[in-house]
Structure 1
Amino acid sequence: MKISVEKEHIKPLCAEVFRVAESQQKVATNTLVDTLEEQQMLEEMLDRVKPRIPQDCEQYDYLIYTPFRYPPLKHGSRFGKKIHPSIFYGSKNIEAAFAELAYYRFVYYDGMMNAPKKKQKVTQHASFSVDLRAKKGIALNESPFNKHKNKISDPTSYDVSQKIGEEMRDKSVEAFSYYSARAVDEVNIGIFTCKAIKSLVPDALNHWSCITRDKSVTIRCLDDRWSNLSFELDQFLVDGVLPSPAV
């Protein structure tokens, strides 16, 4: 059965959207230079060789425009094929956002050719929120789409969701909500365009340390505003296997 997006499904969509981003760039460049001035110069040089910032994103903070700046991965994303512009993905609460992060940390760890000597990988991240005010949105977690939850949020396939994503683009949808494939009954948000985001700078900015091991991911807030979050590998397995992001 084909899941179609019709004009009557399109309506305003407003939400506080949480996103988690890796924050190692400044740490990485700091190890290559001796002063803050040299670090700033190096980062400006690196910025000039990166993809151009989309025109409608130029007034936004880099944490907000970065998801729109880079092309999709080789497998695309849940609602975008590799030929489409990238999508800003987030969640309606911070716990769901970190569930998505934990899944991808497990995927990364699982794909490493050689496990770290300490059998763990430590990364630094920033969490933040934006104020979504989309005039043209779709709630895929509500009727009539919620009855297709298992297909739209299939943990092993993007086939159905990418087709829906293409339909939404064709109808100029700005943002959409959908059930998470990694956190039970949690709701994620996808944003096609910066203009649907009211915030020019991130809100609720927090910094985190993430420790990935073969069977667990532990996330600690460096600002002491949140309790530690922990995720086990088992909660992401499908038939005993960690699914890879793929169509």
Structure 2
Amino acid sequence: MPWSRDWLAAAAPQRRDLWRGVEAQHRVATMKLADSLHDQELLEQLLEASKPKPPPEAAGMDYLLFTPFRYTSPWPSRFRRPGEPGAWYGADDAATVAAEIAYWRWRFFMDSDGLREEQVLTEHTFFQARFEGLELDLTAAPWAAERATWRDPQNYAACQELARAARAVAPPVQAIRYESARREGGWCEVVFDPRSLRRPRQHLQQTWTCKTTKQRVLLSHDTDRLQFDMA
């Protein structure tokens, strides 16, 4: 373990505005199956009823905020082991969100035998949320001394062990701030407690188009154009 449990005392109250990106394909998918708007609405209701209920602490929240907390996944992420409670990932700015999405879209693309010689177009919703709660900042001392550990592009074991300890400490850490492994100078946040999230009064939301090939990923929104070379 590259850190001391005494370091958890560095957690402090913080308030941040964060961006998150989610794929915006669900209504397009259901419209393909429906012959009318009424049928589509019924299909949407059936799909929603089949999903796990959000945790009690997320009751009444915007679905863009509570969705990551309603599932336990068999697949790990940087700060969550398989089967552990959900976590909400965001970043300080849209460019960092785009870099993270580009990497994971490309990974999915390359892991799919039938897609590698094709190209895939997807639409994503980027939106802003406000975090306010107890935060552990890995970009500050003493945690920053282990920068390479927290940014490891493949091995998440140390991050997952830290997240488990941070959730268990009293009072529990509600979020961890860390540096993006996909974009130099990009800052990310993983939030564990849905009660620490809300939508700002001014709901900032953007639609981004993503094109994925085996060589690169392109993301665009209005005049913003971002290219990530992967080959």
Do both proteins adopt the same fold according to a TM-score greater than 0.5, normalized to the shorter chain?
A: yes
Match of 1:230 among 224, 227, 231: 227
TM-aligned CA distance change 1:203 to 1:73, over 3 Å: farther
1:62 counterpart residue number: 63
Secondary structure in 1 aligned to 2:81? coil
1:240 counterpart residue number: none
8 Å contact kept, 1:180–1:186: yes
Secondary structure in 1 aligned to 2:51? coil
- Residues in 1 aligned to 2:202 and 2:177: alpha-carbon distance in whole angstroms: 20
Aligned residue identity for 1:128 = F
TM-aligned CA distance change 1:30 to 1:155, over 3 Å: same
1:182 counterpart residue number: 182
Q: RMSD over aligned Cα, in angstroms?
A: 1.7
How far 1:116 sits from its partner (Å)?
6.2
Aligned residue identity for 1:179 = E
Secondary structure in 1 aligned to 2:85? coil
TM-aligned CA distance change 1:178 to 1:202, over 3 Å: farther
1:143 counterpart residue number: 141
Question: Could you give the per-residue CA deviations for residues 209-230 of structure 1, whole angstroms, max 9, x where no partner exists?
Answer: 1100111111122xx2x41111
2:160 counterpart residue number: 162
Unaligned runs of at least 5 residues, structure 2: none
1:52 counterpart residue number: 53
How far 1:185 sits from its partner (Å)?
2.3
- Residues in 1 aligned to 2:21 and 2:201: alpha-carbon distance in whole angstroms: 15
How far 1:201 sits from its partner (Å)?
7.8
1:8 counterpart residue number: 9
How far 1:101 sits from its partner (Å)?
0.1
- Residues in 1 aligned to 2:74 and 2:180: alpha-carbon distance in whole angstroms: 19
How far 1:8 sits from its partner (Å)?
2.3
How far 1:72 sits from its partner (Å)?
2.5
Secondary structure in 1 aligned to 2:224? coil
How far 1:200 sits from its partner (Å)?
7.2
Secondary structure in 1 aligned to 2:57? helix
TM-aligned CA distance change 1:85 to 1:202, over 3 Å: farther
8 Å contact kept, 1:22–1:126: yes
- Residues in 1 aligned to 2:36 and 2:100: alpha-carbon distance in whole angstroms: 36
1:28 counterpart residue number: 29
1:153 counterpart residue number: 151
1:124 counterpart residue number: 123
Moved over 4 A (4+): none
Count of paired positions? 228
TM-aligned CA distance change 1:201 to 1:101, over 3 Å: farther
1:196 counterpart residue number: 196
8 Å contact kept, 1:13–1:176: no
Pair 1:115 & 2:112 matched: no
Q: Percent identity?
A: 28
